[in-house]
Chains A and B, each alone.
Chain A
Amino acid sequence: MTLTSLGSWFFEPGFFSNSPVRVALTIGAIAAVVSGVVGVFTVMRGQSFAGHSLADIGTAGGSAAFLVGANPLYGFVAMNLLAAGAMELLGVRRPRGRDVATGIVLGASLGLAALFLYWDTTSTSTTGATVNVLFGSIFTLPASMVPVVAGFSVAALALIAVLYRPLLLSSLSSDLAAARGVPVGLVGLGFLVALALAVSLCAITIGAILSTALLVGPAAIALRLTRRTGVAILVACAIGVGATWVGIVLAYDSYAWTTSHTAWPVSFFVVTLIFVSYVAVDLATGRRSRRPRLSASR
């Protein structure tokens, strides 16, 4: 088997000349990198629930924007920034208080989403919006989205870069950070803003499921493999981009797998790749050290 035939075996014909695929690869990579960077801190701080909730909460903003005819991305971002503020306002510093605060904000937002989606469906008689937001459709993104997505990513990454040292310290030990004079609350709010930006970006482009998968999965795997934060961030980005790209290739190929020619969703492949990698790393590293991870209080 020559290299070319191996290539064409893995990549179905037309993969690289297909413009939706190229846009999907680009946006997928951007989303994976931002999620990897923000995700490492999310996992360290035990805020996976907040990260996942924001993806769902944005639905309320997205459906409201849809209702008034604005770009859903701006609705997502606005709603998520509001929600991040509300979570910080309600959430006491204890991890459990935060858990309930996140839950309350999530519940209220989903109620609003129910209302807006109801109005959306009665005014346009389509139910596509719900499914689309939840499961995303990376192949239907227009190329004009790339600069918008890149802009929001740069904003989120810049915020993390500015906050890097105090954020790291307060993520490892908020007491120690406070003793050193780090404004822990402000840093926490700044991080939630970065998280809100990253999640809005991912949820609107690749869907809420993939957003959480890319945020938590690669970062959790990376933190299993290394304890150095900088290295973990790089590893998380690499795993995220790798899983996204392989997932896109597999989804593209899956069109030819069945006789009925229904392409399997990208999110299924990416999530499965990440989940299987996590379980593999978990089993491989679990034997060596049974020490609990960087858990703050639980």
Chain B
Amino acid sequence: MFSSFMLNTWEAATIVAIVAGVVGFFTVLRGAAFAAHALPVGAFAGAAAATLVGVSTLLGFGAFSLLGALTISALGRRARSDVATALAVVMMLGLGSLFLSLTSEYAQQVYSLLFGQVLGVSTNELLPTAVLAAVCVLGVAVLYRPLLWSSVAPAASEARGVSAARMELAFLLVVAVATTMAVPVVGTLLVFTLLISPAAAARSFSANPMVAMALSVLLALATVWSSIALSYETNLPVGFFVGSIGAATYAMSRLWVAARGRRRVPAPARPAAVAG
């Protein structure tokens, strides 16, 4: 399991999990699960475009996820964000289906791009992954306070001069970079699960943003590591384990909250409720 060809996998998956835990915290806080689903799926179409014109797929991922972020943000200014996201994702997929129909080389890769090929990460994929991960974490660190404010209390932060629209765009760009980094390694669907499940569970355990974020990273790491180990042992797809472990983690966090809520008689008004 720890032989030399698996080392890349462990390193890449660890990097992806850390970034997913950090970015996922804000994704859940902002209720941006749809965008976290849309950008990776859009990036998937980008790979088809890259195959068609013969450039590196990483470029395709990057271009399409950035394009997606800009489209969602532009459409979202005058409409509900879920409608904007839905239209952006179908447009990107529509383009993807066109590119896919024009090239025949790509169809075989579809499964691995959707569900990940984590057991086959090459050494030259590691460097771009690490660089983009650093960009992502740095972005979140720089944006941390305004982003937190604008996620929890958009109106109050707008009054303090933090533009909600600009924060939305900044956040979407961070998700786009995270997507570009993670999709080639773990596939579009795993990125989404890793962004949502650990962070959602972490938020149930702590209302403190720093603690929740750290917990989210830990849970993402635990999910990825155990999934790879199980996938290696059983030969079943890694996506299945990430999906089920993620859902199980969230279910346990909900049970924990329910059990704790019953012991403390008057349920405390959690400060996180402001987010709704």
The total of chain A residues at the interface (CB under 8 A) is 66
A94 and chain B: residue at smallest CB distance: B276
Q: Is the CB of B243 within 8 A of A293?
A: no
Query: B78: shortest Cβ distance to chain A, in Å?
Result: 5
**A261 interface residue per 8 A CB criterion:** no
Give complex CA distance A46, B114 in Å: 26
Q: Is the CB of A275 within 8 A of B90?
A: yes
Using an 8 Å CB-CB cutoff, how does the interface string of B114-146 with A read, 1 for contact, 0 for none? 110000000000000000000000000000000
Using an 8 Å CB-CB cutoff, how does the interface string of B68-92 with A read, 1 for contact, 0 for none? 0000000100111111011101110
Using an 8 Å CB-CB cutoff, how does the interface string of B191-205 with A read, 1 for contact, 0 for none? 011001100100000
Give complex CA distance A164, B34 in Å: 27
Query: B80: shortest Cβ distance to chain A, in Å?
Result: 6
Give complex CA distance A271, B275 in Å: 34
Q: Which among A24-32, A74-82, A127-135, A151-159 touches the partner chain?
A: A127-135
Q: Is the CB of A217 within 8 A of B90?
A: yes
With a cutoff of 8 Å between Cβ atoms, the chain A residues found around residue B275 in the complex are 96
Most chain B CB neighbours (cut-off 10 Å) among A108, A134, A213: A108
Q: Is the CB of A52 within 8 A of B34?
A: yes
Q: Is the CB of A271 within 8 A of B90?
A: yes
Q: Which among A111-119, A175-183, A189-197, A227-235 touches the partner chain?
A: A111-119
B38 and chain A: residue at smallest CB distance: A52
With a cutoff of 8 Å between Cβ atoms, the chain B residues found around residue A209 in the complex are 90, 93-94, 97
The one of B75, B98, B242 that contacts A264, using a Cβ cutoff of 8 Å: B98
Chain A interface (Cβ within 8 Å of chain B)? 43, 46-49, 51-53, 90, 94-97, 99-100, 102-112, 114-115, 117-118, 121, 127, 130-131, 134-135, 207-210, 212-213, 215-217, 220, 262-265, 267-268, 270-272, 274-275, 278-279, 282, 286, 290, 293, 295, 297-298
